[in-house]
A and B are shown apart, each in its own frame.
Chain A
């Protein structure tokens, strides 16, 4: 168990290191000089040179990377080239709405999708199973933002009961915060649910064919108890891994949803920074997203070990 987790943590650190290098060099080689972007039509060769020196962009690349890495490890991500605010502050402010949106959507999606997939698997032979599965396949092929737009039309434009966008931090007003997140969370959850339902259904159907399910039936255990006690945990083991693989989908989905609902999250921060060639912010966003990704994967590995004794034995 300790060896298993140690291996996972080590793998996560290596991944993070590679991502930082990638984030740094990708922005360093990107076309366009930040200094000229910054100066806009006030740019003169002298001014560009002065700013370039001020930003440290005249140093050789490996030196710049070394400095950047050291500062990053010390927790200093620099200042924005555009607003001149510390990147740390910008990230912190933007991370909260994103994390809130992503976590709430993931929880809602999982809580709905797993029981739904299990029930579809249990009733795979009934007449409504086929149409229901068809409906889910349809759900997979609907683009996520379309659902969001429809929700806005229905709940904000027609019924006028929920805001069509914007974000209120919970520290200001918890009720408004929840109201501002209902539609974004619904959009993102609806986007995630179909593929998870389908995965759970297919996995649970194969688990139902396992010999130990026959053993449970031969014990006289009732079908509902077999589903809960034997099928659900074994389905969960693989589903957790699948959800880990879906994190990228969750992150990119969160970016789209932030843009639709004008939520001041990491997605919007990152996108604006890319458009402004605000490289310290871009690097910070990539770094934070990668750290989140690695951290969640570690949590998944831990959950995996908690459910499956064979993993604990490693």
Chain B
């Protein structure tokens, strides 16, 4: 008896999503470029993980790989493992993966103005996902769709369900996208910069909507954002990406209090947050990240921009640590000092 219980127990503690050594290679005209290289992170049910990093560092490619939007594109090669709910998604066939998309993993995109089909009614577009994954009849689908629209805060959902996308504002379209994503109660929602295209007040509303719904649905969220303030506000975990690699990952509290990578420290130093220890100027990381389709620097990819680079950095660092992962050759004492640079601790 006791044996059986311990076997059941791991479903509670093992993560919902466990990405191990994910790599994505783009092959074009004979040349191959690693867009994502050795990315690892994990996420428990109901948690929010934020992926942060400068533009072009592979955040979107990582997100699309999880839900498998690029797996049928012959130019992309995916490697590593994406364990979701105990199965490696990369080992599934495309038909099996289609059963996962929309049902267990849903995704919303950056631009709500283009992510809905302009020729179909909002209700039909939400109904499509229910038709794909449930046996509901058309009346039940309509009722569920109205309920979903109400949940995401669309006024008069009973009549707005028959509107076309052009009759919705940007914020309402993103709400409709969220309703569409929630339709089959997925256990994971991937949101790729869902508020970048919206105005500031709408941004806040959409984020708090996502945060509220994940509690209600017990849904884990992978949220891609440029805004470290948002990370501090709603995330449980954070992964920092640089040049297609995960350079640091862990609980938000740990990463913000004690960043272990100079790049993370640089990002933290550049937020103008009120709760940050004041420094005379707002520093930013000098230089620009490599263009991944043209290759990345040998050794540590961040070395050309790093003020702490030393001899060891010509070798490629591995991802170290257990709960708080980092990819840096600096000795522990030097890494401990990064918090000061980041403005998290008074000098």
Residues of A bordering B, CB below 8 Å: 125, 210-212, 214-222, 229-230, 233-234, 237, 307-310, 313
Decide if A218 touches B102 in the complex (CB within 8 Å): yes
B297 vs chain A, min Cβ distance (A): 31
Question: Are B115 and A212 touching (Cβ within 8 A)?
Answer: yes
Complex CA distance for A309 and B109, rounded to whole angstroms: 23
Closest to B67 in A: A218
- Taking the complex as formed, is B133 at the interface, i.e. its CB lies under 8 A from any CB of chain A? yes
B119 and A215: CB pair below 8 A?
no
Residues of A contacting B220 in the complex (Cβ-Cβ under 8 angstroms):
none
- Is there a chain A Cβ closer than 8 Å to B177's Cβ? yes
Residues 65-110 of B contacting A (Cβ, < 8 Å): 67, 69, 73-74, 98-103, 106-107, 109
Q: How many residues of B contact A (CB 8 A)?
A: 31
B167 CB, nearest partner CB in chain A, Å: 8
Residue of B nearest to A212 (CB): B117
Q: Are B166 and A313 in contact (CB under 8 A)?
A: yes
A211 pairs with B109, CB closer than 8 A: yes
Closest 8 CB pairs of A and B: A220-B102, A219-B102, A220-B101, A211-B114, A219-B129, A309-B164, A212-B117, A211-B115
Instruction: Tell me if B115 and A221 are in contact (CB < 8 A).
Output: no
Given A218-B67, A233-B119, A309-B118, 19 further pairs, Cβ under 8 A: A210-B114, A211-B109, A212-B117, A212-B118, A214-B115, A215-B125, A216-B117, A217-B101, A218-B69, A219-B102, A219-B129, A220-B129, A220-B133, A221-B98, A221-B129, A221-B132, A229-B120, A308-B118, A309-B164
A215 touches which of B74, B103, B116, B133 (Cβ 8 Å): B116
* B111 in the interface (beta carbon within 8 A): yes
- Which residue of chain A lies nearest to B112 when distances are taken between CB atoms in the complex? A211
Instruction: Name which of A210, A212, A215, A222 has the most chain B CB atoms within 10 A of its CB.
Output: A215
Shortest CB-to-CB span from A157 to chain B, Å, is: 47
**Which residues of the other chain, A, contact B128 by a CB distance below 8 angstroms?**
216, 219, 221, 229
Residues of A within 8 A of B133 (CB): 220
Q: Are A310 and B166 in contact (CB under 8 A)?
A: yes
Best-buried of B73, B100, B106, B118 by chain A (most CB within 10 Å): B118
Chain B 227-263 interface 0/1 with A at a Cβ cutoff of 8 Å (1 = within): 0000000000000000000000000000000000000
Known: A211-B109, A218-B102, A220-B98. A310 touches B115 (CB 8 A): no
Chain B: minimal CB distance from A4 (Å):
14
A-B contact pairs, 12 of them (CB 8 A): A125-B74, A215-B177, A218-B107, A219-B102, A219-B128, A220-B98, A221-B98, A221-B132, A234-B117, A234-B119, A308-B118, A313-B167
Whether a CB of chain A sits under 8 angstroms from the CB of B180 is yes
Contact with A along B122-142 (1 / 0, CB 8 A): 000100110011000000000
